[in-house]
Structure 1
Amino acid sequence: MLRYALRRLPSALLVLLVASVLVFGVLRLAPGDPAVVLAGPDASPATVAEVRASLGLDSPLPAQYWTWLTGVLTGDLGTSFILGAPIATLIGHGLGNTLELTVAALLLAVAGGGAAGFALGTARRPAVRGLLGGAVNLALAVPPYATGVLLVLVFAVALPVLPASGHESLLADPVIGAQYLLLPAVCLALPTGAVLARFLATALRRAEQEDYVRTGHGKGLPRRHLLARHVLPGALPPVVTVLGIQTGQLLGGAIVVEAVYAWPGLGQLLLQAVLGRDYLLVQDLLLFAVAVFVVLQTLTDLVQARLDPRVRMGGAG
């Protein structure tokens, strides 16, 4: 397993390097100038040039990229152009709130999606399969911003039982914090849970058609025993891969959900940085998101290799 993990390391580092180049380059193609934003619309060209020089934006692009990359590698993320605070502090504060939201959403997605997928994949009645399949497709089809508004209208306006927006730390007040957390976590969990449910249902049906399962049926073994001991373990490896990908994509969905519910996480911070043309903060946030996705994908591959030795054997070739 250690050798398999070490073989994955070079490709992960290459992905991060390519991502850093793309993030840096694409941002420079976007319209707008942070020097103009900071100097103000009525600033003279000399003032804008002075601000641009103070930010280091008058240097050649390769020099700007190298300065940023070496800073990231040494842990010096720099200072936000717009907010005027150390970027490491801003990311650290927003990361805690985003982790709180994404972990809660992930738990809800695994629990709800796992239960729905197992029921959908093992149900024998067409009416039950149709009802569950329709619910899963609906959760997958409706975008998070529409789901978020609908949840607010129902549970914060029509039935005022939960707050419409805001945040309270679970550590400070678990009861109030859970009330603020529930709606955004459900909104973020619905599409991820729906994807997991569909893949799990498909994997269960495929596993149930394997010869060893049919042999078990022929020997008179109870279906419940076969599902628990053979069908479900055989269906888990591809679902684990999907779970790893979806966990990474929760960060992207958190941007929309945090905007709907005014959740002070990395999504809100990224939106603020983009609107302010804060190149350095946007670069650090995007590269951090890519790094998290790469780490999650690598861990997912390791878990899948543990569940299915054929993965390690294929990687050895």
Structure 2
Amino acid sequence: MLRYSLRRVPSALVVLAVASVLVFCVLRLAPGDPAVVLAGPDASADTVAEVRASLGLDSSLPAQYWTWLTGLLTGDLGTSFILGAPNATLIGRGLGNTLELALAAVALALVGGGAAGIALGTSRRRTVRTLLGGAVSLALAVPPYVTGVLLVLVFAVTWRVLPASGHESLLADPEIGVQYLLLPAVCLALPTGAVLARFLAASLRRAREDEYVKTATAKGLSRRRLLGRHVLPGALPPVVSVLGIQIGQLLGGAIVVEAVYAWPGLGQLLLQAVIGRDYLLVQDLLLFAVAVFVAVQTLTDLAQAALDPRVRTGGAV
């Protein structure tokens, strides 16, 4: 297992290196000039040039990339052009709120998606499978920004049981914090839970066709014991891989959800940086998102290898 873990590290580092180059280059292709935004629309050409020089944008692209990369390696993320604060401080301030939202969404997706997937994969009632299948398809089909608006209309405007937007720390006031957290967490969890339910149901159906499961059934094992001891453990490895991908994509979904619910997280910060053409902050946030995705994928691969020895032995048994 240790050897398999060490083999994953070089590939993760290569992905991060390539991602840093792509992020840097793609942002330079976007229209707009942060120096013009910061100097103002009525600024003279000399003023814009001075602002550009103060931001380091008058250097060559390789020099700008090297400055950014060395700063990352030394822990200096730079200073936001627009907000005028250290990027590390801004990211750290929004990271806690985004983690709070993401962890709540993952918990809801695991509980709801897991229960729906088990019911879809094992239920003998056609009505149950039809209703759950329709609900899962609907959760996959409706985009988060539509789901978010519908949840606000139902629970905040019509029934008035939950706040429409905003944030309150769970540490400061848990009761109020949960009320603010519930709607965005449900909105973010729905597509993840739906994907999890689909894959878990399909994996359970495949696992039920394995020979060892048929043998256990012939020996007279109860349905619950058969599911818990044989079917579910055999169905989990591919589902864990899918779950890792979905968790890695939560940050992208959080951008939309945080905008709908005015949630002060990394998504809101990224949106603000993009609008202001804040190159350095956008670079840091995008590379951080890639790093999170790579880390989650690596942990997922390790978990899958722990559940299924064939993964770490290259398929050999």
Fold match by TM threshold 0.5: yes
Distance in 2 between residues matched to 1:310 and 1:173, nearest whole Å: 47
Cα deviation digits, residues 180-237 of structure 1 (max 9, x gap)? 0000000000000000000000000000000111112222222221111000000000
Post-superposition CA distance 1:159-198 (Å, at most 9, x none): 0010000000000000000000000000000000000000
- What is the alpha-carbon distance in structure 2 between the residues aligned to residue 237 and residue 184 of structure 1? 29
The residue correspondences of 1:27-106 to structure 2 (distance < 5 A) are 27-106=27-106
Counterpart-to-counterpart distance in 2, 1:279 and 1:315: 44
Give the Cα–Cα distance (whole angstroms) in 2 for the partners of residues 218 and 106 of structure 1.
Answer: 37
The residue that corresponds to 1:127 in the other structure is 127
* Residue number in structure 2 paired with 1:232: 232
Q: How many residues align?
A: 316
C-alpha distance in 2 between matches for 1:95 and 1:220: 51
Query: Taking every aligned residue pair, what percent have the same amino acid on both sides?
Result: 84
Q: Deviations over 1:86-140 (max 9, x none)?
A: 0000000000000000000000000000000000100112221111100111011
TM-score by length of 1: 0.99
Secondary structure, aligned partner of 2:249 = helix
Q: 1:97 to 1:315 in 2, by over 3 A?
A: farther
**Counterpart of 1:265 in structure 2: which amino acid?**
G
Please list, as runs of the form range in 1=range in 2, the aligned pairs for 1:1-317 lying within 5 A after superposition. Answer: 1-314=1-314
* Structure 1 residue runs without a partner (length 5+): none
Question: What is the aligned-residue RMSD (CA, Å)?
Answer: 0.9
Amino acid at match of 1:44: S
TM-score after normalising by structure 2: 0.99
Give the counterpart letter for 1:256 in structure 2: V
State the shift of 1:315 in Å: 8.1
Q: Please list every run of 5 or more consecutive structure 2 residues that lacks an aligned counterpart in the other structure.
A: none
Amino acid at match of 2:266: L
One-letter amino acid of the structure 1 residue matched with residue 285 of structure 2: L
Name the amino acid aligned to 1:78.
G
- Partner secondary structure for residue 314 of structure 1: coil
Query: In 2, Cα distance between the equivalents of 1:305 and 1:61?
Result: 41
**Contact kept in structure 2, 1:184 and 1:261, CA below 8 Å:** yes
Q: Is the 8 A contact 1:208 1:214 kept in 2?
A: yes
Cα contact 1:101–1:184 (8 A) shared by 2: yes
Please list every run of at least 4 consecutive aligned residues from structure 1 whose deviation after the TM superposition is greater than 2 angstroms: none
SS in 2 for 1:41: coil
Give the distance between the partners of 2:150 and 2:233, measured in 1 at CA.
37
Letter in 1 for 2:238: P
Q: Is the contact made by 1:165 and 1:263 (CA closer than 8 Å) also made in structure 2?
A: yes
Q: Is the 8 A contact 1:4 1:315 kept in 2?
A: no
Query: Following the alignment from structure 2 to structure 1, what is the Cα–Cα distance between the partners of residues 218 and 88?
Result: 61
